[in-house]
Amino acid sequence: MSELLRVEHLTKTFTSGLIGGFEIRAVDDVSFTMKKGEIVSLVGESGSGKTTIGKLILRLIQPTGGRILFEGRDVLQMSKKELRRDYYRQVQAVFQDPFASFNPLYPIDRSFDLVFDSYLPDVSRGERDEAINKALVQVGLNPDQIRGKFPHQLSGGQLQRILIARALLLKPKLLIADEAVSMLDASTRIDILNLLGDFRDRYGTSILFVTHDLALGYYISDSTIIMYRGTVVEMGDTEKVFYNPLHPYTKMLLESVPDLNVKWEFKGIEPEKEEETVYSLQGCRYAPRCPRARKTCFRSRPALLEVEKDHWVACHLYGGE
Ligand SMILES: Nc1ncnc2c1ncn2[C@@H]1O[C@H](COP(=O)(O)OP(=O)(O)OP(=O)(O)O)[C@@H](O)[C@H]1O
């Protein structure tokens, strides 16, 4: 498989507060690649920088530093016209809240027409209708029951399928699915995941699957990137990351997934204290929470090293400096 996307040393710093504001390094020196037709999960707890990475790739926000290459082309150097005419034809996104993605004042058909108007203006009305109906059938919907309806007349699952049908009308090379199934019930969630996998198989669409849910990431992805507070702590082949986790944070995350047949029992656990969440910008960001942290972990950031084929970890326990 050849390379589709390359993210190099991507950094995004936000400034919060008006006077004497403080800086949040939401994404801190993140590098990874995606192959054509590959599904990559970007996994991490809330605030780890996943959505910010998706928005940077989509050029919805500007990075503080780093490069994004799509098929070798520098995305950050693209003009607005190039983005609109070319990049967004090939890179589409589906976000978490399907209700927020539609204008409640218009029937959902309008959202399909906007795609045609923006990217395929020369397609005739008849051809549009045919393509829309085909896309709706592909995502398991009956066009007769969907077309002409307003968003409030449809369920969250139906709207999410419509968003996927809309994104896939263009048969994009890259789909960014940001918590795209988080708001759906379990059975609809699996349907939508299967749909995404089916599209990858059919059209070779690469998918960046952004999620905080390890099980969903494992189900759908070929490769997994584990984020912690803006940094990549571990990444690689999904089987290797899940069955041979190396970073103490990945191990903790995997141990925290509740088992279906294990009941909760009181263990007197104290919630995490505020001072333990303070992290240093020079050292490993996980060091204050890490049971195996040493002095060096607070002093220097470990490099992301390939410890076995297709398996990288950023941890001083594995020789990172
Ligand atoms: N526009 C912004 N201004 C200031 N800070 C921001 C902004 N957007 C994000 N952040 C901060 O950047 C950090 C990363 O946020 P981001 O939304 O990327 O995380 P996430 O991993 O996607 O979390 P979630 O799963 O909760 O959406 C957080 O600390 C967040 O508060």
CB of residue 14 inside a 6 A radius of ligand 1: yes
On whether both 143 and 188 belong to a single domain, the answer is no
Residue nearest to atom 4 of ligand 1 (CA): 14
Q: Tell me, what's the pLDDT at 23?
A: 83
Tens digits of residue pLDDT in 66-121: 999 999 999 999 999 999 889 999 999 988 877 788 888 999 999 999 989 988 88
Q: Are residues 215 and 161 in the same domain?
A: no
- The C-alpha atoms of residue 167 and residue 290 are separated, in whole angstroms, by 40
Residues 62 and 164 both lie in one domain? no
d(CA 53, CA 225): 12
Residue 260's contacts (CB-CB under 8 Å, 6 or more residues apart) are none
Last residue of some domain: 151, 171, 191?
A: 171
Task: Please enumerate in sequence order all residues whose Cβ is within 8 A of that of 102, keeping only pairs 6 or more positions apart, or say none.
Answer: 108, 111, 151, 159
Task: Judge whether 266 lies within some domain.
Answer: no
In a domain, 295, yes or no: no
Chain centre distance of CA 190: 17
**Is the same domain home to 55 and 20?**
yes
End-of-domain residue from the set 171, 193, 218: 171
Range of the domain at 195: 3-90+172-251+305-313
Check if 301 has its Cβ closer than 6 Å to any atom of ligand 1: no
Is residue 137 located within the same domain as residue 76? no
Q: Is residue 278 part of a domain?
A: no
- What is the bridge-based pairing of β-strands 231-237 and 39-43? unpaired
**Atom nearest to 227 CA in ligand 1:** 21
The pLDDT assigned to 276 comes to: 45
Q: State in Å: Cα 26 to ligand 1 middle.
A: 6
For residue 25, report the distance from its CA to the centre of ligand 1, in Å.
Answer: 10
Query: Ligand 1, residues 50, 55, 181, 228: which to mutate, most atoms within 8 A of Cβ?
Result: 50
| Cα 268 to averaged position of ligand 1 atoms, centre (Å) | 31
The span from the CA of 1 to the CA of 310, in Å, is: 14
Which residue has 């089987």 as its token pair? Answer: 239
Q: Are residues 65 and 155 in the same domain?
A: no
Whether residue 253 has its Cβ less than 6 Å from ligand 1: no
Select from 171, 200, 220 the last residue of a domain: 171
What is the number of residues in the chain? 321
Nearest Cα residue to atom 30 of ligand 1: 47
Tokens describing residue 29: 């020196």
Domain membership of residue 283 (yes or no) is: no
CA distance 63 to 66: 7
Decide if 210 is inside a domain.
yes
Would the CB of 238 count as within 6 Å of ligand 1? no
44/182 same-domain check: yes
- On whether both 86 and 113 belong to a single domain, the answer is no
ipTM of the complex: 0.96
Produce one character per residue of 6-35: b if its CB has 16 or more CB atoms within 10 Å, e if not: bbeebbbeeeeeeeeeeebbbbbbbebebe
Looking at 17-59, which runs of residues are DSSP E strands? 22-35, 39-43
Residue type for position 99: F
Same domain? For 127 and 11 the reply is: no
| 24 CB near ligand 1 (under 6 Å) | yes
pLDDT digits (tens), the chain, 321 positions: 799 999 999 999 998 776 667 788 999 999 999 999 999 999 999 899 999 999 999 999 999 999 999 999 999 999 999 998 899 999 999 888 777 888 889 999 999 999 899 888 899 999 999 999 998 988 889 999 999 999 999 988 889 889 988 988 889 999 999 988 877 778 878 888 998 998 899 899 999 999 999 999 999 999 999 999 999 999 999 999 999 999 999 999 998 877 777 777 766 655 555 444 445 568 999 998 899 999 999 999 999 999 999 999 999 998 744
Do residues 7 and 81 both lie within one domain? yes
- What's the whole-number average pLDDT of the chain? 89
The count of structural domains within the chain is: 2
Are 140 and 185 in the same domain?
no
Provide the Cα torsion 259, 155, 43, 191; round to 10°: 70
Q: 102-123 burial, b if ≥16 CB within 10 A, otherwise e?
A: beeeebbbebbeebbeebeeee
Q: How far is the CA of 23 from the centre of ligand 1 (A)?
A: 12
Specify the ligand 1 atom closest to the Cα of 16.
4
Residues 84, 190: one domain?
Answer: yes
Tell me if 72 is assigned to some domain. Answer: yes
Is 190 a member of any domain? yes
Quick check: is 31 in a domain? yes
* CATH code: domain of residue 32: 3.40.50.300
